Structure 1
Amino acid sequence: MSIRLLVCDDSGFARKQLIKALPPDWNFQISQAANGLEGLEVIRKGHGDVVLLDLTMPEMDGYGVLQAIRDEGLQARVVVVSGDVQEQAVQRVLGLGALAFLQKPVDPLDLRKTLREHGLYKPAVAKPAATPAAEPATQASVAIPVAEAPNAEQVSALQDLSKIGFRDTFREITNVAMGRAGALLARVLNVFVKLPIPNVNIFEVGELSMALADAQRGGAVSAVCQGYISGGIAGEALLIFHDSSFRDIAKLMQHEGEVDNNTQLELLMDLSSLLIGACLNGFAEQLDIRFSQGHPIILGQHCNFDDLLRVNQTRWKKTLAVELSYSIEHHSVNFDLLFLFTEDSVPRLQHKIQYLME
């Protein structure tokens, strides 16, 4: 009997990776959804016996889908595949009824093992070679690996995803890097970090202020900048921290005493070292490169975001901007992490990720 499989992820590139990782000898009919609401409708129509579900999506996230499946008593067996690798994220999805959690980018062997363990997939076994007359008749049969060529359903689904662009692919790479950084921050502070959907765009610096208007919430900000470079790929990372968040983050980092300017500088440097380094490592691992990082510098303290950009606009000019707006659950802590790749870096990045897109 054919399994009705749903792959639900807002990234076409992520869906393509998952579909390529599926066992080619698995008998399934595949549907795709680009957000939680679309996915839920597919499940309600009975086309989601098995669901491979992302967590960070627009319209409705994976947690919302799992909650709706439980509340409505829908028949769907869910394996979460996400870049949000926080321990609390894993425990929450299992508590909501997910069968298992796999981290992105998914390993095909881990996916097959998980599907087998939960009775969703049974590998095809070829007939063993004829037993020689001299051998006992009770000789155990031997499983012969099946061919790894994609089956018809995989081929059709991959053809539908044949025109995935650079922006979608790089956004998914960012999503994985962001999740690694969020998980590290969650462990250090013993909190749950609310991860955003990354924004990836190419801007003139004059457009950057308008595009990042959300970074101005809460009034004054303070910012740290750190450069990075690797074989034709270069840029600067900015941690923009909202001044209203300093008191809460000081408590989480177990600082005692007054939160003065020196303390705020220490907190900024500690956070920037942790987050920027973890994100860059996530980028580097996926792109098979190694970044050299410069020393962090203070761009400004207690200033308006527009002023911060205006003072530094000659540094950035046209840029590939990656925006991540983090927050911490149950705490008044908000900060933005920006990666501003130079215009000259884009062709090199396109070349590096081309093999991932194919």
Structure 2
Amino acid sequence: MTTAVLICDDSGFARKQMARALPAGWDISLNFARNGEEAIAAIRQGKAEVVFLDLTMPVMDGYETMSVIRREDLPCLVIVVSGDVQPAARDRMMAMGALDFMRKPIDNPRLTKLLADYGIYNGQQKPDTGRFACDKNSSAEDKLDAYRELVNIAMGRAGDKLARLLGEFIDLPIPNVNFIESNELHMAIAEIQHNQRVSAVSKGFVSAGIKGEALVIFNDTNTHNIIELLQYSGQQDDPQLELEALMDVSNILTGACLNALSDQLDVHFSHSQPELLGRHRGLDTLLSDNISRWSKVMAVEIAYGIKRRDISFDLLLLFPDDAMDKIYTRLIAMGQSR
């Protein structure tokens, strides 16, 4: 009997990758949704007996979608597939009735085993690599979508690392991705109020012709809360203690994020030592004084938050334009080899 399967994800690249991971022998009718609102409509129309659900989406996210499914007792089995792999995210979705929780990018054999364990599919383990194959001649918008998904997964891994170390739930956004001239970088940073004073730590990375820079930008109003959360001993207004806190959080975020990028691209990045770009300065001044080595960049802004502690900080990833084709080629190669 044919099973109605729905893949719900705001990324077209992620939807294709998920479709490719489904077992070749599974008799399904396959449908797609870009957000929870579209997913709920499909479920109500009988187009989604099994739902693969992302968490971080516009319009209606995975949590809101699962809440509607539970409240209306909609007839579907939900498997969460997300870049946000924090234990609290998994626990929350499982408590709401999700069947299981898988992290991105999908592990094909594990997916097949999971489906078999729940009696959903009991055939071959071979994924259907012919279904929605990735196109190397994709449009600029398709490539941008792929880059956004790449960073989404890395963002989730970094958030998970931070959450486990701090014992707090980290709020994760949809990454803000822009191709811009480096002198316009300040215009791409949406989450930071430009009239506020900030401090920033930078770390460069390079491998296989792919290079970039990671910056963690802290609003000065958050510093005391960060020191309190880290439970450092000493006076909160001690400049050295403040610097130690900024460096520690930066190393956690950039290390986990770059490791996740390495895994997805099958490269090993060499990291430079973290460098303090500036403290207690205006954002525009800080960026203009330090970010000028490349004429054009892909800038990715990730606004992390710990709402309960009133803490927020931004991770900014910068890639020069000549690295982008290399990244996309590796993404496609890795997707086809899974």
Q: TM-score, normalised by structure 1?
A: 0.87
Pick the aligned partner of 1:277 from 237, 251, 255: 255
- Distance in 1, matches of 2:274 and 2:135, equals 44
Which residue among 209, 215, 218 is the counterpart of 2:192? 215
What is the CA distance between 1:112 and its match in structure 2?
A: 1.3
Check if 1:182 corresponds to 2:132: no
Q: After superposition, where does 1:126-145 map in structure 2 within 5 Å?
A: none
Counterpart amino acid of residue 235 in structure 2? E
Give the stretch that moved more between structures: 25-34 or 199-208. 199-208
SS of the residue aligned with 2:192? helix
Which piece of structure 1 moves more, 264-273 or 36-45? 36-45
Provide the residue aligned with 1:311 in structure 2: 289
One-letter code aligned to 2:187: M
Match of 1:355 in 2: 333
| Deviation sequence 1:180-228 (CA, Å, 0-9, x none) | 1110000110000111111222110232211213222782111011111
Cross-structure match for 1:55: 55
- State the shift of 1:111 in Å: 0.9
The ranges of structure 1 where at least 4 consecutive aligned residues each deviate by more than 3 angstroms after the TM superposition are: 148-151, 157-164
**For 1:47-102, what per-residue CA distance to the aligned partner results, in whole angstroms no more than 9, with x for missing partners?**
11110001111111111110010111211110001111111111011001000011
Alpha-carbon distance between aligned partners in 1 of 2:9 and 2:291, rounded to the nearest angstrom:
36
Structure 2 unaligned residues grouped into runs of 5+: none
Kindly provide the amino acid, as one letter, of the partner of residue 257 in structure 2: C
How far apart, CA to CA, are the structure 2 residues paired with 1:293 and 1:161?
A: 29
How far 1:149 sits from its partner (Å)? 7.6
Partner of 2:276: 298
Residue 12 of structure 2 corresponds to residue 12 of structure 1: yes
**Who is 1:40 aligned against?**
40
Matched length: 333
User: How far off is 1:162 after superposition?
Assistant: 9.0
Tell me which residue corresponds to 1:128.
none
Task: Note if 1:339 corresponds to 2:317.
Answer: yes
Change (3 A) 1:316 1:259: farther
On the 8 A contact 1:209/1:306 being kept in 2, the answer is yes
Aligned mate of 2:210, from 230, 233, 251: 233
Tell me, in whole angstroms, the C-alpha distance in 1 between the residues paired with 2:28 and 2:137. 20
1:230 to partner: Cα distance: 1.1
| Aligned-pair CA distance for 1:22 | 0.9
The equivalent of 1:72 in structure 2 is 72
> 1:256 is paired with a residue of what secondary structure?
coil
Amino acid at match of 1:241: F
For residues 225 and 183 of structure 2, what CA distance do their matches in structure 1 show?
Answer: 32
Q: Give unpaired runs (5+ residues) of structure 1.
A: 124-144
Distance 1:43 1:120 in 2: 17
| Equivalent in the alignment of 1:257 | 234
Please say which of residues 85-94 and 163-172 is displaced more in the overlay. 163-172
Q: Does 1:288 align with 2:266?
A: yes
Match of 1:113 in 2: 113
Paired position in structure 1 for 2:308: 330
Give the AA of the match of 1:23: P
Say if 1:203 and 1:162 are closer, same or farther in 2 by CA, change over 3 A.
closer
Q: Deviations over 1:218-268 (max 9, x none)?
A: 821110111111121112110001111112211211123322222111111
State the superposition RMSD in angstroms. 2.2
- After superposition, the Cα gap between the structure-2 partners of 1:295 and 1:161, relative to the gap in structure 1 and judged at 3 Å, is closer
- Bigger Rg, which one: 1
